[in-house]
Amino acid sequence: MSMAAVTKKKKVIIDTDPGIDDAMAIFVALRSTELEVVGLTTIFGNVYTALATRNALHLLETAGRTDIPVAEGSHVTIKKATKLRIASFVHGSDGLGNQNFHPPIGKAVEQSVAAFLVEQANLYPGQVTVVALGPLTNLALAVELDPSFPKKIGQIIILGGAYSVNGNVNPAAKANVIILLKLHYITAF
């Protein structure tokens, strides 16, 4: 038996705002022999949350992976702000390069994103890696729902930094983490 056959796949939840970049990350994760994608959770960022959910469902259908649940995330910031910075100027009005794909057939799960994240952490304690590709609001909501959530997650990987260049919100900050850093949610992890 080969070493690869006995290696356990890493369970991941991708917290995503699927524009073009996240679409590629999702496809790579789905094709990986080292990862088991146990869910996608959506958030605003590259697109509004409802469109992020639509795109996530479309990407899973395109990949033939409709077995993977999608939980729709927050439509507002952790401070409940509804005026959001959306990157349609980069990703197009549909988030996927203005391809205007047909609406997906599938639907998001009924439970809240926080409940979904907490449920997965409880199902697989210490085994789930959350790959956060967008703002960290959904993770903060999971901590609010269950303060022990950070202890139940195996690992959190955050897309939220730059080296030797300015941030995309101000010279020192990236959009995915600035609000949560101000609110000190990041210290929960």
CATH of the domain at 147: 3.90.245.10
Domain membership flag for residue 135: yes
Domain membership flag for residue 8: no
Domain membership flag for residue 6: no
CA distance 78 to 13: 20
Domain membership flag for residue 144: yes
Question: 99-129, pLDDT tens digit by residue?
Answer: 878 889 999 999 999 999 999 999 999 999 9
Domain membership flag for residue 129: yes
Q: How many domains does the chain have?
A: 1
CA distance 30 to 3: 21
Domain hosting residue 49, numbered range: 15-188
Low-confidence ranges of the chain (pLDDT < 50): 172, 181-189
Domain membership flag for residue 131: yes
Domain membership flag for residue 91: yes
Domain membership flag for residue 112: yes
**In the block, residue with structure tokens 């949560």:** 180
**Whole-number pLDDT of residue 48:** 86
**Whole-number pLDDT of residue 187:** 46
Which stretches of the chain are assigned E, i.e. beta strand?
A: 10-16, 35-42, 70-71, 128-132, 155-158
Q: How far is CA 21 from CA 82, 95, 97, 165, in A?
A: 24, 10, 10, 19
- Rounded to two decimals, the pTM is 0.84
